Every structure is written in structure tokens, then in C-alpha cells.
Amino acid sequence: MTYQKTKHSKPLAKDRGRSQRTSAKSHNPERVLLFGLHAVQAALANEKRPVFAVRATENAAHRLAPLIAKRGLQPERVLPRALDRELGADTVHQGVLLEAGPLDSRNLDELDLSGTLLVLDQVTDPHNVGAALRSAAAFGANALIMTQRHSPPLGGVLAKSASGALDLVPIVQVRNLAEALAELGERGVMRLGLAEEAETTLEATPLRHPLALILGAEGRGLRQLTRERCDALCRISTASALASLNVSNAAAIALHWAQVRVTRD
């Protein structure tokens, strides 16, 4: 079993014809660009998320009208091709682009440790992180913990892949994952690492709350120091030696299994 990198779209095309005003906004480090109906809807509904401007087609603006009005924004009506030029022709923006501020950073002390945490060890693909975050929301995970470096930006493609979960699941970005895992262990959290070469299967591993499910980067898996901070390593059973799972698929299975197993036991 290999947690492999998903295929993703080509890099976003740069629109040389954009105005200086739009280009400056897009590269402002204090702002992130969010696109896609679910991602923008969740951001507008999240009172902790600063929002500055929205550009939308007539249809998208109509669908989001109550939230846009509640935030006191006046949407700039645009045609789909204008957003294509700004974001790239391969971007699935669904007719809406929101300029927003980043969410306030969280730390471990703020987390509810009573349930399940999802931990990603230097997973760099924004599609995989976004999909894993979506699964974390679906299965009631209390938070996502990831590294500050070697992790994708919290916006854009990640937000679209998360389908709104970026504004629903608390995210903690840590400088040193090994130290963070050590701290979780001191607080009584069971730290379960997923590794394809592990002898024990996830199904045969006794689980308890609080629980941290730890998954590694595409290809190389968990780093050595991360492994050393785990209480146990396990693998997900697959039907054949040729079967493979990317990290977001593995996260979804582990989160679901943890939910069922801990609740049942």
C-alpha cells in the first residue's frame, strides 16, 4: 500500500493583462483568494474570517446574496472568463472569487482533545490536504495539525478541495511536529501512525480517545522522528498488493474507522 500523490491541474496561469490593482491584491500577503461556492460560502459564514471583496457572476452572486449582504459587501459582477483570466483557465471557480484575510493561527492549548485529531507530516499537495480536511469535517475530527513548512497555503486550491471545511475545522500549524506529538502524548493522547510496512492492521489496533491519527507525505511516508513519537504504527488492509491509497483516501478511511471503532468500544 502506497500513499501516493494525486494528479492535479496544471499550475495557475498568470494573466499579464490584469490591472495593477487586481495583481497587487492577489499578491498581498495579508489576503488570500478563495474560490468555489462551498469554500466562499463557508468563509462568508465564518465570523472569524475577515472578508474584503467579492467578484461573482450574476448566478453566483444571487446564490450567495444573503451572506454577502450580511457581511456588508457589494459584489463586483463579472463574467466567468474574467475569473478564468485571473485564476487560470483550469481553475474550477464556479463563478465566484473572494478576497479574504487569513484565519487567526491556533495553538495546541486551544484544542479540544476529547476526540480525534488528524495530523499530517509534511503533506504538500493542496488537493490531498483539502480532501483530508473535508474528511476531518465529515467524521467530526476536532482539529487538523500540520507543519508550518512543507505544507500548502491555507487558501486557493486547498480551500476549494476542502469544500468549506477550511472554515469549519480548527487548524494548528506547528514548527516542530515531533515536539508537538510529544506534548500530545504528555496530555494522554494516543498517537497512531499509519505506515504501509506496519505489521499490525488498523482494524486490529485497539483505539481510544483522545486519539491522533498521523499520516505522512506522499511517497516517503512518516519521517523517523515522527515515527518515534507514535505509540503504535498500523496499516490499512487492502485487497491486493497492487492496491494503493493516496494520503487523503487513507485519512478518510482512518477517520471513519476511528469513529466507528471508538464509539462501538
From 1, 3, 37, select the one nearest 215 (Cα to Cα): 3
User: pTM (2 decimals)?
Assistant: 0.85
* Residue 4 belongs to a domain: no
Q: Given a cut of 90, is residue 240 above it in pLDDT?
A: no
Domain CATH number, residue 191: 3.40.1280.10
Domain termination residue (choose one: 77, 100, 123): 100
> What are 90-121's pLDDT values in tens digits?
999 999 999 999 998 899 999 999 999 999 99
Q: Is the domain of 46 the same as that of 146?
A: no
- Judge whether 7 lies within some domain: no
What are the residues whose beta carbons fall under 8 Å from the beta carbon of 144, sequence distance 6 or more?
117, 118, 119, 120, 132, 133, 136, 169, 170, 171, 172
How many domains is the chain built from? Answer: 2
When pLDDT is averaged across residues 4-13 and rounded to a whole number, the result is 39
DSSP-derived pairing of the beta strands 245-246 and 3-4:
parallel
Q: By mean pLDDT, which of 96-100, 182-186, 236-240, 250-254 is the weakest?
A: 236-240
- Together in a domain, 78 and 199: no
Q: Is residue 77 part of a domain?
A: yes
**Do 44 and 160 fall into the same domain?**
no
Q: Which of 100, 122, 155 is the last residue of a domain?
A: 100
Evaluate the omega torsion of the peptide bond into residue 210 and state whether it is cis, within 30 degrees of 0. Answer: yes
Q: What is the pLDDT of residues 147-165, one digit of tens each?
A: 999 999 999 999 999 999 9
Residue 183 domain boundaries: 105-264
- Report how far residue 52's alpha carbon sits from residue 153's, in angstroms, rounded to the nearest whole number: 19
% pLDDT > 90, the chain:
77
